[in-house]
Structures are given as C-alpha cells and as structure tokens.
A and B are shown apart, each in its own frame.
Chain A
Amino acid sequence: MVVVPEFLIRRVYKKGSLKKLENGASLELKNVLGPGFISGFNYVKINDVIFEPKNVKFITGGQELAGENVSEANPVAFRLNQEGILVMTGQNCVIDGKNIIEIEVMNPEAGKVRMTVEDIA
C-alpha cells in the first residue's frame, strides 16, 4: 500500500473550481500525481454537508459516472493530467466566503485517499 502525504493529494484539487449549484455544488480535479484508478467514492463533504456516493457524479473523459457505480470491480481510470468534475446534488452546501471541502476516494494501491481543501465559491 502506498501512503501519499496529503499535501500531494491536495494538488489534485483545482483551486477556485468550487461552484454553487441549485441544490448542490461542483468542483474540479486534475490528476497531477500519476496514472491510476479510482475504485470508489466514499464521500464528499462540503462544510457540514456530507454527500454519499449516490449523490455524487464524476464527469471525466466524456463519461458521466454515478459515484455509487464506481467500485473495486468497476474502477474508473484517472490518467496523469486527466481532468474531471465532481457534481454533488441533493443538498445546499456552499456558503459565501471560505468553504471547507473533504473528499475521500478509494484507490486499489493506496486504499483510502483523503484530502481536505479550502476554496471560495
């Protein structure tokens, strides 16, 4: 298992990408770490609002994937320098000013990969 320090994981988040949506939010990721797979979206937490995989969509490489459909058996490839948009729906979560975002995904080699970042919508 590979342990990736959080300061490196945070580089995946595209600063300034947080957007407030009607009843949700979106944000952008870019894989600057190395090629790999995401084998699960555990949750996305924006401020105090937690989005379960069923309320998370990942749009990348022309595909729109429901978070709950991404699993060890059905991982999604995330290549070096590939970009993706995470869309969370079902709850309002973005506030004016500083937002705290926590994203936890699974990776077949690293297990749980978690990042916490701050952004302004």
Chain B
Amino acid sequence: MEITFDKHSLIIDGKRIFIKSGAFHYFRTPGYEMALDRFAKMKSGGYNTVDIYFNWNYHSKAPGEYDFSGIKDVRKVLKAAKEIGLFVIARPGPFINGEVNAGGLPFWLLKMDDVIPRNRIGTEYHYSEKYMQYIEEWYDHIIPIIREFDNVILFQIENEYATDTMEEDYMRRLYKMAREKGLTCPIFHNDAYFAGLWADVVDIYALDLYPYINPNQNWKQDNFCFDTLDNVEEIFRGAKENSPPFIAEMQSGWFDKWDGSGYKHIRDALGDEHINIMTKTALSQGVTLFNHYMAAGGTSWDDLACDEVYTSYEFTAPIDEFGIIQNNFYKVKEINYFLDSFDFTNTDPVPFEFNQENIYTKLRHDNTNNCDWLFVRNMNAETVELNLQKTVRLKPYDMKICPVNLQLKGCEIEFSDVEIFARLYDENEEILFMIADKDANIYLKDYGIISGDKNDYDNLIFEKDGKTTQFVFLTKRLADRSWLLKDKLIFNADYVLPNGAAALERNTEIAYYDLKHKFAKKYCVINEFKDYEKPEIIKDFQIGFCSPEIDLHYDYSNWKKIGTKTDSFSCELYDEFVWYKAKIPDILKEITLSARHLFAVYINGKEVLNRNSYKIEKLQEVPETISIPLDTKILNHEINELTILVQNLGFDKGFSGDTNSPRGLVTFETKPTVPLEFYVCEKLSIERNDLRESENPYLTKITVNFDIDFKNDVFFAKYLSLENFWYRRATIFLNGVKIGRYIKRTRVQEKFYLINEFLKPHNTLDIVIWEKDRNIKSPWGFKSDMKNVIIQIGTQKMYQLFK
C-alpha cells in the first residue's frame, strides 16, 4: 500500500482518505474475540481506523524476555483489525502514557544503571545511550510484527514529549530506528502542547487536544475551553507546510482517578454534546485525520493501571468498558456516516464574518463537491436563532454542519440546517437520509423550503435530467438505530455488525433499504432472554483464610533475602502485593516506616497497623512516614516475627512524576537501630497456590462458582457488583486472573467487568478481602460474620444477533 499525503489529507494508493480513527487498548480488552467485537462495533459506527498503543511493559517482564503469545499475541489484534477492514495507527512508544503502569516502560528497565527513562529528568534533557539500546531491542521485536500488516498507515514515535531545551537527537534517533527497521508509512508525533513541537523531525505534524481535563470544571459554562481547537488550523499551518491537519488524540471522554468523582459524573458532564462539538469543530478547521481517544474503554486488570487510576478504564468512550454502545457513539456515528456521504478531504477556509457572543461559525469551500459547508455552534445555555445565510435555530451546546449550494443529482440544496445523516447513491439515483428537526429547513433551488418537521420515513423525490434525489427523514431516535452498511441502510437495530448481523435486545421489526431492492422488513424474535437486568445475589459461597504468611512460624526460608534497601526497585519487586518478613528483638521501642500505597504491619501474627497512604494534594503525591510504638504486649517473645504486606497500586505513568518513584516498603527504621534481615515474596498466597491452614483472618477469601451458558449468536457482558459490600478493600480474581481492585474509600468503582476473555462455562470467582473488624476476635466469628456479605453477579447487557 502506498501512503503519501499533502496539506489536505492522507493519500492511500492514490486516493484521498479521511481518517476517522478511535483508540483501543488491546491489553485492556484482552484476546482476539474481544478485539474483534470492539473493532466490529467501531466499523459499524463509521470509524475506518483503529489507533493502537503497543505496551512494552505488557510484553517484557524481564530483560531480554518478550512474550507475544496467547492474549499478548498482537498479531491477532492486528489480524482482527485487518479482517474487519480497519486501518491501523501504530503507537509503540517506547513511552505510551495511557494511564498504564510506568507509562508502558518495563519495570526492569527503570532500575537499570545508566538508563534515564525518556532521556529526561523532570523536564531537563539527559541523553542516555543505554536507554536507546533498550528501545532498539523493543523496536526490533515490535516493528517486524507491525510491518507484517499492510493496513498500518501511520506510526508514532514517543508520546507527548517535550524538554526544556528541545534537543532533537532522541526523537531523530527514534525516527531513524523506525526507518532502519523497514517501516515505510508516514511517521508522526503527538504534540500535547500544540506548539509545533518536533514538526521538523517527523513526516506529519500532529497534536493532542483535550479541552476538558478537570472533571470539576463545567465545560458548558467555561466554554472558552475550545479556544485552541477553534484556532487549530492556524497551528497546523504554522507548524509544518504540506502536512495534513491531524489530531492524534481528540477528546472523546476522560479518565477517572482514585480520588475522582466516578465515570457516571464524567459521562453526564460530557453528554453527547461534547464529542459533537469536538469533532465538528475539528472538521471546521480542516482536520482530515482524527483519532478519538478512546473509542472503546477497557479494564486495567492485573497490574496494568498506573497509580492514578482504578480498575475501570471506561473513559466514557463511545463503546464502554463492557463493549456496550453509549449515547456519544450515536453522535460519532452520525458524523462518520456524513463523512462517508461526502468526501471531505479537500476543503479550504472561506472568509465569513459573523460575530455574536458564544456563537462560533466557520465556512469552508469543498473542492471535491464544489459547495460550501457552514459550521455553526451555539455555546449559550438557551436556543438561539441566527441570521446567517438563512435563519438557523440551534439548541444549547449544539453544533451543525450546513451545506451551502450543494449540487445533488436531482436538485440543489441552497442551504440546509436539517443535517444529513447518510447517503446512498449510484450513477442516476441518490437518497439522502436526513435527521428530522422541527426547527430546521432545507432550502432547495427552484423548489423552495422543505420543513424538517417530519416523521420517520417521510420522503420527497426530485428529478432532473433523468436523475433523482430522494430525501428520506429519520427522527433522531430512529437515526440512532440506523446503520450504514456499504450500500445498504438497516433500521431499528440496537447495532449492526459489518457482516450484516443485527443485534437486538428485544423482539423487533428491522427494516433494510438499498437502491436495488428498496425497502424490506424482517421480524426478529428473541429466543430466551430472561429478565437479566436484575443482578443475582450470591448466597452460596465458601469462605477461607488466605494469608498464612502472617502466621507465626510460617516457613519463609525460600523467600528472597534482601539488603538494607527495601523499596520495589532495589529488591526487583514489581508486583502489586509484596510481603516482607523479618525477626525483630524485643528491645525495640519503635518502628518507623513509609510504604506505598496500602500496607499493614503484623507482629507475631497480630495486626498493629493497617494504613492507606495513598494521598494526592495539589496534584502531587504526598509522602507519609509513620511511627509505631512497640511494647512488651506486642513484642511478647524474645525474638518476634514482623510481617509487612504492601499493596502497590502502580508506578507513576511518567507524564508528570517519575516512573521510577519508589514503591513497596520505601523506608524502614527501628529505635534503637538494629540491623534486620528482610525476606521478601511477591503476590498473594492465592496467586502462589500457597493456601494452607491458617488461624489468622486478616486476609480472607470468598469463593463463588457460577456457570455461563455460552451461545453462538448472543453478545453479553457480565459484572460483579460490590455495591452492598461492607468491607473496605478487596482484590477480585476470575478463574485465577486478577481482574479488579476494590477500595471503598472513594466509592469510585463498585461494579467490575467479568472480562469475557476470562469467562468459561464453569467459573470461579475469588474475592480476597484485606480487612478484619477489630471487634471480631475469633476466626470462627469472622467466618460467621462474612456469611452476611452481599455480592451480586449481573448482566450488563445482552443482545441476540440476527444474520
């Protein structure tokens, strides 16, 4: 495939292509089947490209080791994209951010001597040849795989990179490496500062745009957040001549944090207006390559998350974490179908003067369709009536693309604020599907005004020189349920896959339309869906203890002995859970420690401290050091046994703080000072298959068994709800795979996706609880108390697929 470009667009095999991309994380949506499902939905929504970060850390757990097998097989992900018919934007870092642990840099790399991650400390540039050698190793593994796929059309080096002095050798070396390894497609970088950074180093200049990054902000009220987007064409033109305007990350949602307000808040705040404004404003600025970050949310299962985010990486994306289409998806679909209807790859701005507060307008001439497009946006809290070419009424926070002097086959639109949804056409006939709007009109040359106040399927036909144009109206509700499939439109389906399968939640009459066969209908009866929306309360579960490590006399002789430095990097301990054990004498008066992020201290099998030290103030991690006074009640043996369990919620993602900030037991001191011999071990006992009889209930385990009735033509997504769970902390395992971290303190996530890839016909769900009520004295009392725990398993959505 030959990929070139000019100042307007990408050109693939000699044809201009508008790139409508969405980001997808294969590591957060694991396995070929799940990738295929999300890609199919993206394609149905009109995306033609998927943007993929390749996560170095996910594939390399030890120096020189690379794993591309099983669910880590990226060939299968790329194959799925190819099968669905999507182009790919490949972004292998080396640093990717993406709110993943250590920003995607392998843990082992971060502790290597002479390696300076990203060649910078803070914002100061420090070139590290050793770091470059390891990148070469990563590129040697990933680029040959990427090169196997001819649908890869763009390749990114680094990620939102800048330093104080902007030395170019690092970025130039990455570019050169990619080329030397045989990569032929255009290379770009995503400038997060929209300042033309690295424009001279890459082939295509691209930038990232996130006007809403503070969920406490009201973007509707502070509507100047679009200032940069409103002027982005000027930035592109100033940055690089002959490079098409490319928004490498264009906001389609936002991530939530441990101390955040929950994804529901963000989804409600953004609504479907935000993505509509973002995307249409980008088009008004001549953008012909955009990438919605994200198109499909995911799950930070296992240890994927950086310290900032919790398990769900739902991102309020058009396709949510469960693979369910959301309201903003319908808005994207409308825009994408419109872009499929009229080639928008070659337009130029046209002067257009209109000044009114909170109204944005932009006129562009379309060199392909030889018409103009007027973009109008209303950022007022009330509907406005604007005297533009014609009178346009716009709802609050709405934006429209209005055709001006658009010559059709059977008539000419002088102006329309009834928006075009989709177009089917052949040489002599065309049908424009319009979104009915009682406040809007189509002004037709020679025919006058057609009101947009219409019902579903109302239509009008116009003829000229033996050619016809038919307008068919769809209400917004039906438009949401209408799906463009090559030369066909399918109505009334919850969604339609590229293979023509219609997904339905309930009995429905779906309709088809194509130019040859016209309308056809089909009644689809759902087979066996029960009332699945009500979750099942699980009453039958087993309870067991799972922290034998805390027991006095637990044999840890095979654990690793460490030196005086106890932090994660010094000990090469990168797992979420790390155990420390040591013998301590009874002369100690105090121990003082600092640990990241949650930890507990046990002496002689009894808990003396249980602490969550995760704290962010003014966007900075707050260090915490705690002293524990000791006495003879605690140190009741001559030689006492100290056990510390630390939960590391992830390394910094490296965008602001350092990826190699210490985790685990960061500092440990005793009073009086005595040398201690620490032994360490990673993971919970359940992960190490070290479940043995134990008397302590500090970590307990609820085990639930449940079955799944897999059916060929049914899509479903299941979840575990801890909404009525009264414990503070839990770790969730599905069939032995860690799929969730629960911390009640912030209540940001109480529902956990039971990731389809890990589901089997017979399943085991283990919930490890790290909390004991101090009032419960005996293990028996604890087990008895736990029997009242409420956990629920439910089905988020279920669709039957009809071919």
Contact = CB atoms under 8 A, between A and B. Distances in A.
Contacts of B195: 8, 33
A108 B271 CA distance: 22
A34 B619 CA distance: 20
Contacts of A79: 224, 227
Interface stretch (B29-37, B161-169, B541-549, B737-745): B161-169
B224 A77 contact: yes
Contacts of B192: 2
A6 B162 CA distance: 10
Nearest to A32: B195
B123 interface: yes
Interface string A72-109: 00000101110000000000000000000000001011
B618 A106 contact: yes
Interface in B111-138: 122-123
B383 interface: no
A24 B231 CA distance: 37
Contact of B165 (A1, A3, A7): A7
B656 A1 contact: yes
A3 B228 contact: no
B199 to A, nearest CB: 14
A111 B620 CA distance: 8
Nearest to A81: B227
A35 B225 CA distance: 6
Candidate in B213, B619, B655 with the most chain A CB atoms within 10 angstroms? B619
Nearest to B166: A7
B211 interface: yes
B194 interface: yes
Nearest to A106: B618
A62 to B, nearest CB: 15
Interface in B739-766: none
A1 B225 contact: no
Contacts of B619: 1, 109-111
A3 to B, nearest CB: 5
B618 A111 contact: yes
Interface stretch (B214-222, B278-286, B440-448): B214-222
Interface string A45-75: 0000000000000000000000000000000
B224 A35 contact: yes
B162 A5 contact: yes
Contact of B164 (A7, A33, A106, A109): A7
Contacts of B224: 35, 77, 79-80
Contact of A77 (B122, B193, B222): B222
Contacts of B194: 34
A4 interface: yes
A43 to B, nearest CB: 15
Interface residues of A, number: 22
A34 B162 CA distance: 16
Given A35-B227, A35-B228, A5 B222 contact: no
Contacts of B163: 5
A91 B656 CA distance: 36
B227 A3 contact: no
Interface string B158-195: 00001111100000000000000000000000001111
Contacts of B164: 5-7
Contacts of B226: 35
Contacts of B123: 3, 5-6
Contacts of A108: 214, 216-217
Looking at chain B, what size class is its interface with the partner chain? Answer: 20 to 34
Interface in B618-656: 618-620, 655-656
A9 to B, nearest CB: 10
Contacts of B166: 5, 7
Contact of A34 (B214, B216, B228): B228
A3 B655 contact: yes
A86 to B, nearest CB: 21
Nearest to B122: A3
A80 B214 contact: no
A112 to B, nearest CB: 8
A33 B164 CA distance: 15
Given A108-B217, A111-B619, A8 B193 contact: yes
Candidate in B122, B165, B227 with the most chain A CB atoms within 10 angstroms? B227
A3 B159 CA distance: 13
A43 B214 CA distance: 24
Interface in A1-34: 1-8, 33-34
Candidate in B163, B618, B655 with the most chain A CB atoms within 10 angstroms? B618
Contacts of B214: 108-109
Contacts of A81: 227
B193 A4 contact: yes
A34 B655 CA distance: 18
A35 B162 CA distance: 19
A37 B164 CA distance: 22
Contacts of B657: 1
A7 B656 CA distance: 16
Nearest to A108: B214
B231 A8 contact: no
Contacts of A35: 211, 224-228
A108 to B, nearest CB: 5
B273 to A, nearest CB: 18
A106 B617 CA distance: 13
Nearest to B193: A8
B269 to A, nearest CB: 15
Contacts of B227: 34-35, 79-81
A4 B194 CA distance: 11
A35 B219 CA distance: 12
B125 to A, nearest CB: 10
A33 B193 contact: yes
Interface of B: 122-123, 162-166, 192-195, 211, 213-214, 216-217, 222, 224-228, 231, 618-620, 655-657
- 6 closest pairs, A vs B, by CB? A80-B227, A1-B656, A35-B227, A111-B619, A1-B619, A5-B162
10 contacts: A2-B213, A2-B656, A3-B655, A4-B193, A5-B164, A5-B166, A37-B222, A80-B231, A108-B214, A110-B619
Given A5-B123, A33-B193, A109-B213, 13 more contacts: A1-B657, A3-B656, A4-B162, A6-B123, A7-B164, A34-B194, A77-B222, A77-B224, A108-B214, A108-B216, A109-B619, A111-B619, A111-B620
